[in-house]
Amino acid sequence: MYQKPHQVSIIGFGRFGQLWANLIKADFQVKVYDSSKAALDNANVIGVQATSLDDALSAPVIFYSVPISEFARTIAEHAAIFKTMTGDKLLVDLLSVKMHAKEVFTREISEPLQVMLTHPMFGPDSLKEAGIAGQRIVIEKYRAENETYKFWKNYFIEKELEVLELTAEEHDKQAASSQALTHLVGRILTRMQFSPSSIDTNNSKKLQEIAQQVSKDELQLFLDLQRYNPYTQAMRADFVKAQTELYKLIEGS
């Protein structure tokens, strides 16, 4: 039977890594590693332990909260270190794209290491505004043992998250026309310098909220969402097609 781990590690301590640490620190001893010393300076503020890479990788459970574009390089580097270690581990990604994460894990990580895929569908701003209860997390069992998967699924439920069980492909298909599309619209509005006016309608204010929320994330996240989800290219093509069709209607052609 799978035993609750005493210690977990988080690799990547940016905005979401810090959020994840805050979310789980009451239940586990949390160690964090980031290549940026500035990021690790926040560990004491949050109340978790900054540590070395080797120490972080020695934990029985490791969460990855690195940029999507850094994930393949990170896992390849860590795979070589794991080969020098004994004992089973669970590796869990927190990325916003799932097929890419699955492909990297499949290529780089061999058994007996267990792997589970997750995408917490929330961020620091949404959690601050609405709290944790009812927020959603997508999970795929992938290469986790049944008892391991059951433990973490139940743990997320106990944290009052709504758990959605989807395959990596199902997730990316849906994310392309939801999260990735929202980020695309938000970035376009930002580039247009879309800003409040004295006669804003409620719908206009909602668009402003989207632009403001998206602009709080690093530009790299937007680019990674578009580049590493294989379904976003078709989404962008549909977006341009719809825009062109509307232009023709406006011009009466």
- Look at residue 125 in the predicted model and tell me its pLDDT: 85
**CA 109 → CA 81, 115, 128, 203, distances in Å?**
11, 8, 35, 47
Residue ending a domain, among 149, 167, 185, is 167
pLDDT in tens, 7-51: 999 999 999 999 999 999 999 999 999 999 888 999 999 999 999
Residue ending a domain, among 167, 194, 214, is 167
Q: What is the DSSP secondary-structure string of 66-111?
A: --HHHHHHHHHHHHHHHTT--S--EEEE--S-SHHHHHHHHHH--T
pLDDT in tens, 104-162: 999 999 989 999 999 999 998 888 888 999 999 999 999 999 999 999 999 999 999 99
The CATH number of residue 130's host domain is 3.40.50.720
Residue 172 counted as domain residue: no
Arithmetic mean of pLDDT, 214-241:
96
Element at 133 (helix H, strand E): none
| Extended beta strands in the chain, E state | 7-11, 29-33, 49-50, 61-64, 90-93, 114-120, 136-140, 162-165
| C-alpha to C-alpha distance for 76 and 80, rounded to whole angstroms | 7
Q: What is the DSSP secondary-structure string of 151-162?
A: HHHHHHHHTT-E
| C-alpha to C-alpha distance for 16 and 23, rounded to whole angstroms | 10
Residue 205 counted as domain residue: yes
Q: Backbone phi, then psi, for 219, in 5-degree steps?
A: -55, -30
- DSSP character at residue 141: -
Residue 2 counted as domain residue: no
pLDDT in tens, 150-192: 999 999 999 999 999 999 999 999 999 999 999 999 999 999 9
Domain count for the chain, please give it.
2
Does one domain contain both 147 and 93?
yes
Arithmetic mean of pLDDT, 208-217:
92
- Look at residue 165 in the predicted model and tell me its pLDDT: 98
Does one domain contain both 136 and 243?
no
Residue ending a domain, among 134, 167, 200, is 167
Residue 123 counted as domain residue: yes
Residue 241 belongs to what domain range? 177-251
Does one domain contain both 194 and 81?
no
- Look at residue 126 in the predicted model and tell me its pLDDT: 87
Residue 59 identity (one-letter amino acid): A
- Look at residue 128 in the predicted model and tell me its pLDDT: 86
Does one domain contain both 189 and 140?
no
Q: Backbone phi, then psi, for 4, in 5-degree steps?
A: -60, 125
The neighbouring-strand residues paired with 62 are 9, 91
72, two tokens: 């393949």
Does one domain contain both 198 and 131?
no
Does one domain contain both 31 and 150?
yes
Does one domain contain both 214 and 89?
no
Element at 22 (helix H, strand E): helix 15-24
